[in-house]
């Protein structure tokens, strides 16, 4: 199965051990970690190495795919996107993503999301992909809606994160 997904400006590629240092750096960026659970601070290089190894093992088992978002113009890792909790029986999965602030609002996250949807629906033969976001994460909500996701539900005060309660919004998109 093809492991690199590409558009005009970005490449989605498997995470590699050399990404640990940059992931640690991104974990210091409050704009990224404000709503993400994947790289919560304090996130050391060791944490990143463990995370990358876990991602590689889960990919081999077909349980999840974690991709680094690489900006073709400079070859830098600028974010991450994934398909996780893949159910082969039910033909569904969840997606999540984050992008470094410098690269936000340029359509790059939309490109990444379209690539992951294409991968999930065409290569993995999924019927449904869902995403959940915290209710205060307006930019993620806009992006999901722009790419065709529909708001399907709201779980009030579901997540206690960084000393406050958040509603969990559930979005879904179907292959057809």
73 vs 83: CA distance, rounded Å:
25
| Domain tally, the chain | 1
Residue 153 lies in a domain: no
Structure token digits, residue 90:
């039910």
67: containing domain: 5-130
Q: Which residues are bridge partners to 159 per DSSP? A: 166
For residue 70, being part of any structural domain is answered with yes
Query: Is 30 among the domain residues?
Result: yes
Say if residue 38's pLDDT is above 70: no
Question: What mean pLDDT do residues 91-106 have?
Answer: 94
Please give the model's pTM, rounded to 2 decimal places.
0.92
Pick the residue with more confidence: 108 or 35?
A: 108
Domain presence at residue 175: no
Give the span between the Cα atoms of 70 and 2, in whole angstroms. Answer: 16
d(C-alpha 147, C-alpha 86), whole Å: 20
21 pLDDT above the threshold of 80:
yes
Which residues, including other chains, have CB under 8 Å from residue 27's CB and lie 6 or more apart?
33, 39, 40, 41, 42, 43, 48
Question: Quick check: is 32 in a domain?
Answer: yes
Query: pLDDT tens digits, residue range 159-173?
Result: 998 889 999 999 999
In angstroms, the CA 124 to CA 89 distance is: 12
Quote the strand ranges of 4-149, DSSP E: 5-6, 10-14, 65-71, 76-87, 92-99, 128-134
Residue 34 lies in a domain: yes
Say how far residue 160 (Cα) sits from the centre of its chain.
20
CB 77 within 8 A of CB 62: no
Residue 25 banded pLDDT, cuts 50, 70, 90: confident
Q: What is the CATH number of the domain that holds 17?
A: 3.40.630.30
Q: Is the dihedral of CA 46, 101, 137, 58 positive or negative?
A: negative
């Amino acid at each position: 199965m093809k492991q690199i997904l590409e558009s005009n400006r970005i490449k989605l590629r498997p995470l590699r051990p050399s990404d640990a240092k940059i992931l640690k750096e991104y974990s210091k960026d409050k704009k990224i970690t404000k709503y993400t659970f994947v790289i919560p601070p304090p996130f050391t290089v060791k944490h990143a190495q463990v995370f990358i190894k876990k991602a590689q093992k889960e990919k081999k088992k077909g349980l999840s795919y974690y991709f680094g978002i690489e900006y073709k113009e400079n070859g830098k890792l600028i974010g991450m996107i994934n398909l996780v909790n893949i159910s082969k029986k039910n033909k569904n999965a969840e997606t999540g993503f984050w992008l470094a602030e410098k690269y936000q609002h340029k359509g790059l996250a939309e490109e990444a999301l379209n690539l992951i949807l294409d991968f999930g629906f065409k290569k993995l033969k999924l019927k449904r992909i869902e995403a959940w976001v915290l209710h205060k994460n307006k930019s993620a909500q806009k992006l999901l809606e722009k790419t065709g996701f529909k708001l399907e539900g709201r779980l009030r005060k579901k997540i206690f994160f960084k000393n406050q309660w958040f509603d969990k919004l559930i979005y879904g998109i179907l292959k057809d």
